[in-house]
Amino acid sequence: MKIYNTQTASKETFTPLVPGRVGMYVCGVTVYDVCHIGHARSAVVFDVIRRYMQSRGFEVKFVKNFTDIDDKIISRARKENISWDEVARKYTEKYYEDMHKLGVRDADVEPRATGHIKEIIEIVKGLVDKGRAYVVDGDVYFSVENFSGYGKLSGRKLDDMMAGARVEVDERKKNPMDFALWKSSKPGEPAWDSPWGPGRPGWHIECSAMSLKHLGETFDIHAGGADLIFPHHENELAQSESYTGKQFVRYWIHNGFITVDKEKMSKSLGNFFTIEEVLGKFDPETVRLFLLQTHYRSPIEFSNEPIEEAERSLERFYQTIERVDEFLAKPEQAGAEKESGLKESVSSFRVKFGEAMDDDFNTALAIGHVFELVKEINRFLDSKPPRNAANAELAEDAKKAIAESALVLNAFNRTPEEWTRAMLKTKKIEATEPEIEQLIEEREKARDSKDWARADAIRAQLEKSGILLEDKKDGEKKTVWRVKV
């Protein structure tokens, strides 16, 4: 398995610290507002990576934190006129709601910054004792000049950064790049007691404390959005390695952004679409597929069209599964074996899917392979194979191969009926299933008496309300319906 490591800027073969086990820390969200589709991407991508690791037999300890104390939370609380911890609770809940809909599994450990104040103070104290940090008026700053490795994650030099620093220089800092480990609180702000007076943790220190506690001094994977590389992850690395004297993280993984008109989607630009908005128009599986159809490090330009394409892809997929199910439901038939490439396609699919995922989690390629297999299955069924034991086994195996990959992608894993019902809901179809069935029956009668005008009128009527009809030649059902996507 190869992983692109941000720190070395190259793909590396993945070897866990402890054979068979993987420690993985993902930077979650600051719970001060609802999540947008960019947050969804990050969550979905790392969810898939976790699932893939597990499918490869690794025992994964997956930690994802919530930042529940921060300037933005405090200002949000003022704006909403509620307490800061109510803000955190409210948006943590909303986060779970969105992520559960998207099929993102909860982490094994979901620590919160405020639950680790003791550990944070411990580390800050240690850094001060080691001379890696200094105290100024109740604030504690990390001294970047004392850590020779500063910049090694993001690939920048201290001198180059200082040249371009646009930040207002705090005269009390020894170096403009020094950052707060502990911030003294103003009256009325949330505060915890510390050796430096009442205050709260700086942004970066929580992740150092929580990863140390739950994954140890050195762990395998640390992941997050590419915008966290600097300064967040760079600073985490500096703190942690200064404190433990050991390597902090072995593989850094960062996902690319979602863009709107080529620009990064972000709260500050206001060009974002919330998860709730997107899920109001599209099925969660559709959204998941859309997010995974691009490699996780590449940008995704957000627009409806590619999501609609993902929807059509799933429609095609579930129609194929339906065909397989119909084939399997047929009574046993005798018949000579026909030449079929399907058997080979299924086994090569299993290999290629694994290869794609092994190569830096190339879900886009892996999904491409799924659709190659879908085509092969359709081709097989089009060849009208006899429903004998051998062919049934082959069809079952094809379904099984897809189900195996579905475990990793957490897509392609519903039944055609579930998909259709989901589409009725997503497309807000007014007609009920019995109504549709009744019109189909009426149309059947018209067709039997060769009243084509009547038959076509009914078909047109249903299409207007979003239902497409397909007349089948064989099988029990003469006409099937589906939702127009």
Restricting to residues 193-212, name those near RNA by CB under 7 A. 203
Q: Compute the least distance from the CB of residue 226 to RNA, in Å.
A: 6
The per-type count for the chain, helices as H runs and strands as E runs, is 16, 15
Select the residue interacting with RNA from 106, 355, 435, 456 (CB under 7 A). 456
Shortest reach from residue 437's CB to RNA, in Å:
17
Q: Does 447 bind RNA (CB under 7 A)?
A: yes
Kindly state whether residue 460 participates in binding RNA, applying the rule CB under 7 A: no
Q: Is 362 in the site for RNA (CB under 7 A)?
A: yes
Residues 45-74 that bind RNA (CB under 7 A): 67, 72
> What is the contact mask toward RNA in residues 1 to 20, using x (rule: CB under 7 A)?
--------x-----------
How far is CA 54 from its chain centroid? Answer: 16
Q: Is 436 in the site for RNA (CB under 7 A)?
A: no
Residue among 172, 174, 379, 445 that touches RNA (CB under 7 A): 379
String of contacts with RNA for each residue 245-264, x by CB under 7 A: ----------xxxxx--xxx
User: For residues 445 and 481, is the Cβ–Cβ distance under 8 A?
Assistant: no
| Cis amide linkage into residue 16, ω under 30° from 0 | no
Query: Measured between alpha carbons, how far is 209 from 195 in angstroms, rounded to an integer?
Result: 17
Tell which one of 131, 149, 155, 475 touches RNA (CB under 7 A). 155
How many whole angstroms separate alpha carbon 282 and alpha carbon 427? 8
| DSSP3 helix / strand / coil % (the chain, rounded to 5) | 50, 15, 35
User: Judged by CB, which is closer to RNA: 183, or 250?
Assistant: 183
**Binding-site member from 21, 79, 246, 267 for RNA (CB under 7 A):** 267
Contacts of 263 (CB under 8 A, 6+ apart): 269, 271
Residue range at the interface with RNA (CB under 7 A); choices 88-96, 210-218, 416-424, 463-471:
463-471
Residue 345 lies near RNA (rule: CB under 7 A): no
For residue 325 the two structure tokens come to 């199910």
Footprint of RNA on 160-199 (CB under 7 A): 160-161, 163-167, 177, 179
Give the residue with the Cβ less far from RNA, 17 or 276.
276
Only segment of 25-33, 122-130, 211-219, 331-339 that touches RNA (CB under 7 A): 25-33
How far is residue 250's CA from residue 285's CA, in Å, rounded to a whole number? 32
Q: Which stretch binds RNA (CB under 7 A): 117-125, 126-134, 307-315, 427-435?
A: 307-315
Does 365 help bind RNA (rule: CB under 7 A)? yes
Residue 110 interacts with RNA (CB under 7 A): yes or no: no
Token code pair at residue 291: 């997010």
DSSP string covering 230-286, please? IIIIHHHHHHHHHHHSS--EEEEEEEPPEEETTEEP-TTTT---BHHHHHHHS-HHH
Q: Are 467 and 481 in contact (CB under 8 A)?
A: yes
Q: How far is the CB of 29 from RNA (least distance, A)?
A: 5
Other Cβ atoms closer than 10 A to 169? 10
